[in-house]
Amino acid sequence: MAVSVSVKADDKVSRLEVIIRIPMAIVLGIIGYILMIIVYILWIINIITCLILAKRVGAGFIAKVIEWYTKVMAYLMLTTDERPPFIPQF
């Protein structure tokens, strides 16, 4: 499964958008923290099931969370003005 992310970067920055990022960073950070805990648990389960059953469990979920997290980090690092969704699109 391939993960692809495209980021639209503009040279002009909206000052209002920069101010909005501060509370959004807090909310997205909490959501990202919870999702990363779930991803790490699935990663451990995935290692065990890959070794024992030769099957991947939750790979689609992990890929979507990583794609979402990359978009969030691009937004918070002022790379793009395109707001990421609050939760990954499954």
Q: What is the DSSP string of 16-47?
A: HHHHHHHHHHHHHHHHHHHHHHHHHHHHHHHH
Q: Looking at the domain assignment, is residue 6 inside a domain?
A: no
Sign of the torsion angle spanned by Cα atoms 26, 18, 3, 86: positive
Q: Looking at the domain assignment, is residue 9 inside a domain?
A: no
Q: Looking at the domain assignment, is residue 11 inside a domain?
A: no
pLDDT at 74: 86
Q: Looking at the domain assignment, is residue 16 inside a domain?
A: no
Q: Looking at the domain assignment, is residue 14 inside a domain?
A: no
Inform me whether the pLDDT recorded for 43 exceeds 70: yes
User: Within 10 A of 6 (CB to CB), how many other CB atoms are there?
Assistant: 8
Question: Residue 21 and residue 3: Cα distance in Å, rounded?
Answer: 25
pLDDT digits (tens, 9 = 90+) for 3-41: 676 767 777 777 887 888 889 989 999 999 999 999 999
Inform me whether the pLDDT recorded for 57 exceeds 90: no
The pTM for the full model equals: 0.78
Say how many domains are in the chain. Answer: 1
Q: Domain range spanning residue 36?
A: 28-90
pLDDT at 51: 93
Could you tell me how many residues make up the chain?
90
Q: Looking at the domain assignment, is residue 34 inside a domain?
A: yes
